[in-house]
Amino acid sequence: MPKKKRAEAAEQPAYTWREKVGLAQMLRGGVIMDVVTPDHAKIAEDAGAAAVMALERVPADIRLHGGVARMSDPEMIASIMAAVSIPVMAKCRIGHFAEAQILQALGVDFIDESEVLTPADEMYHVDKHAFAVPFVCGCRDLGEALRRIGEGAAMIRTKGEAGSGNVVEAVRHMRTVMDGIRRLTVLGPEQLMTEAKNLGAPYEVLKEIAATGQLPVPNFSAGGIATPADAALMRQLGAEAVFVGSGIFKSGDPARRAKAIVEANTFYDDPAKVLECSKGLGEAMVGINISEIPEGERLAKRGW
């Protein structure tokens, strides 16, 4: 991975790849929650969130609202940064490097180049090596994960289907990525270049994974997690942490559900503890069957 590179557009502090991936490593085993107000952010922090994602509307409302979804108002993001001491992430549109420059100038700790917003470029993603701030990107399979890492993403999250309250796509994408990783570890060296071609993935990163059996950056899960059991499921399938978007603040008792998901995520392989924190949480968000979402409105399809 390149050590240092400077953006042409703007003056920015020196950084190293290790620092960028380092923050992602610190978030392992955590829950990252979508929040739309400073009050939400405090509820998330008090529940034990490891970070928050500041945005104007949670994905379920972006779905309802329709239209073009853009980067949130920087003033709103700043108010959340002022409200909590944990890291604050924010989303830019796919390929919208100017939005990313604004978020970096604002001082957010992580940028999510996110399919939840309307893509700004249908050919190219942001050159993430050009930024001092680390990026997280979504993926559905190993090839997509490796293209994003090749572009400089310091964290990967499987996409799932944001705002659906339905974990089925999150499961599909995590299984697909983990299968892809396992497959690389049993291929012979002569097979790796063809595999890189088939996946559309950078060869050097692919070779590294074949040797280590893991992605070179943390691999988290997003898109549809709504219950403590969902979090425990994704962790057992290989996610190193979970993003919860609409699942918390679209439920009946957000503070209680947030705390329960944090606990289930920590003790994901201890069913007795997950049982305890699953009790009496009130209403979960109403989910959507994926087959009822028109093809054109499926967020996971955005990104190339």
Partner 1 sequence: MRSPVIGVLALQGDFREHLEMLAGLGVDARNVRTPEQVAACDGLILPGGESTTIGKLMRRYGVDQAIRELHAAGRPIWGTCAGAILLSREVVENDVHNLGLLDARIARNAYGRQTDSFERGLAMAALGAAEFPAVFIRAPRFVSVGPGVEALAAIDDEPVFVRQGNLLASTFHPELTSDPRVHAWLAELARA
Which are the catalytic amino acids?
Answer: 91
Pick the closer one to partner 1 by CB: 17 or 199: 17
Footprint on residues 117-136 left by partner 1 (CB under 8 A): 132-134
Q: Give the residue among 89, 90, 79 at the shortest CA–CA distance from 42.
A: 79
Which range binds partner 1 by CB under 8 A, 59-67, 100-108, 113-121, 168-176? 100-108
State residue 137 phi and psi, 5-degree precision: -135, 155
Which of 36, 50, 139, 209 binds partner 1 (CB under 8 A)? It is: 50
Which of 2, 64, 85, 291 binds partner 1 (CB under 8 A)? It is: 85
Which of 40, 72, 87, 260 binds partner 1 (CB under 8 A)? It is: 87
Q: What is the smallest separation between the CB atom of 258 and partner 1, expressed in angstroms?
A: 12
Pick the closer one to partner 1 by CB: 76 or 132: 132
Question: How many chain residues interact with partner 1 (CB under 8 A)?
Answer: 37
Q: Give the residue among 5, 50, 92 at the shortest CA–CA distance from 220.
A: 50
Counting contacts by CB under 8 A, is residue 110 touching partner 1?
yes
Give Cα 90 to chain centroid, integer Å.
11
Q: What is the smallest separation between the CB atom of 259 and partner 1, expressed in angstroms?
A: 9
Q: What is the smallest separation between the CB atom of 125 and partner 1, expressed in angstroms?
A: 20
Counting contacts by CB under 8 A, is residue 282 touching partner 1?
no
Which of 5, 7, 15, 57 binds partner 1 (CB under 8 A)? It is: 15
Counting contacts by CB under 8 A, is residue 263 touching partner 1?
yes
Q: What is the smallest separation between the CB atom of 31 and partner 1, expressed in angstroms?
A: 8
Counting contacts by CB under 8 A, is residue 45 touching partner 1?
yes
Counting contacts by CB under 8 A, is residue 51 touching partner 1?
yes
In contact, 111 and 90? CB cutoff 8 Å: yes
Residue ranges binding partner 1 (CB under 8 A): 12-16, 18-19, 22-23, 25-30, 45, 48-51, 85-87, 104, 107-110, 132-134, 240, 262-263, 266-267, 270
